[in-house]
Amino acid sequence: MSRRICVLPEPALNYQHAFHAGNFADVFKHAVVCRILVHLRDKPAAFRVIDTHAGAGLYDLAGLEAERNPEWRDGIGRLRDASLPAAVATLMAAYLDTVSALNLSGTLRIYPGSPALVRSLLRSQDRMIACELESKAAAALRRNLRGDRRIKALEADGWTALAAHLPPVERRGLVLIDPPYEQDGDFVRLTKGLETAYRRWSTGIYMLWYPIKGRPEPDALAKRLRRLGIPKILRAELIVSPLSDPSRLNGSGVIVVNPPWTLEADLSAILPSLAVVLGKAGPGRWALDWLAGETAVQR
C-alpha cells in the first residue's frame, strides 16, 4: 500500500520538527523514546502515549526544508553508516528498524517523527494521542496517521492536553513533551507543565526534551525540577559541539520521570556510541545523572 507523505513549508520556529528532522537531537531523543516503549511492551497490559508537540509525523529528507539545511546527514545519516557495538545495535534496533522500514530501497528519504515511531511499536491494545497546534503540521499529522484506530491526531495545544487527557484509562504509558522552544519562557513552562501533569498522574512515565546551546537554561531547568519533589528523575545529555557559540544548537537533553528500571543501563551503553558517531569535531560528550531518587552517576 502506498503512503502519502505530507511535506511542510519552511518553518519559522527555532526547533520545529520539519526543519530539523533526523538531526543528532532527533536521533538521541527517538532512541530514548523507543527504549521506553520497548520496556512498556514487556507487559501485556495496555499503555497509552500522549505526544504533546507531535509535528507532522513523517518528513521527506529530500524535500525543501531538509535539503536547504540537511542536518539529517550529521544525524541519522551518520548513524545508519556507523558500525555499532553489538550490544548497542541491539538496543537501537527498534528505532533503526522503523527508519529502515520507511526506506526499503536503502536510500534515506523518509524520516519518522515521534508519532510514526510510536505507531510502529503500538500493539493492538495500545493507544496514542498526538497533538499539534500549528494548523499545517496538524493537517499533515492527521493524513500521515489516518486509518489507524489506535491513534487520535488532534489539532490542539499540547500544554492543554496535559490536563485534558490525564490520567489515561490504561493507567500505564508515556507522555512525551517536546515543545519548539520558540520563546524564552518555554523552559519555565516545561517545569510548570510537568508539575500540573504529575499531580494528575503520578505513576506515568514523562519524557521532556530540551535543546542545549549553553548551560544557563538547562541548569536552571534542573534546579526547578529538583524543587518539585518528584521521587525519580533521570537526566541524560548529549553534546556534539563546544558550547562556545550560544547561538547554535550544540547539544540536547532528555529528562525522564519515573524511568523504566532498565533505562539507566540502556543509556549508559548507548550514549558513548552516539557521542562518537555524532560528534561534530571528534567525539562529543555525554552525561547521565539522577536529579532525584537514585545515587547520582555522572560521566
Contact 97, 48 (CB under 8 A): no
The pTM for the full model equals 0.91
250-281 pLDDT, tens digit per residue, is 999 999 999 999 999 999 999 999 999 999 98
How far lies 268's CA from each of 11, 44, 90, in Å?
Answer: 34, 27, 14
Domain boundaries, the chain: 17-292
- Which residues are bridge partners to 254 per DSSP? 209, 236
Per-residue pLDDT band for 20 (boundaries 50, 70, 90) equals confident
Residue 169 grid cell: 484509562
Residue 53 grid cell: 508537540
Contact 266, 256 (CB under 8 A): no
- Which residues are bridge partners to 257 per DSSP? 206, 233
CATH architecture observed for domain 17-292: 3-Layer(aba) Sandwich (3.40)
Nearest one of 27, 36, 42, 43 to 206, comparing CA atoms: 36
Task: Reply yes or no on whether the pLDDT at 201 is more than 70.
Answer: yes
DSSP helix/strand/coil, 268: helix
Task: Reply yes or no on whether the pLDDT at 4 is more than 60.
Answer: no
Residues catalogued as catalytic: 178
- CA–CA dist 215, 195 (Å, integer): 22
Q: What does pLDDT average to over the chain?
A: 90
Residue type at 228 in one-letter notation: L
Per-residue pLDDT band for 94 (boundaries 50, 70, 90) equals very high
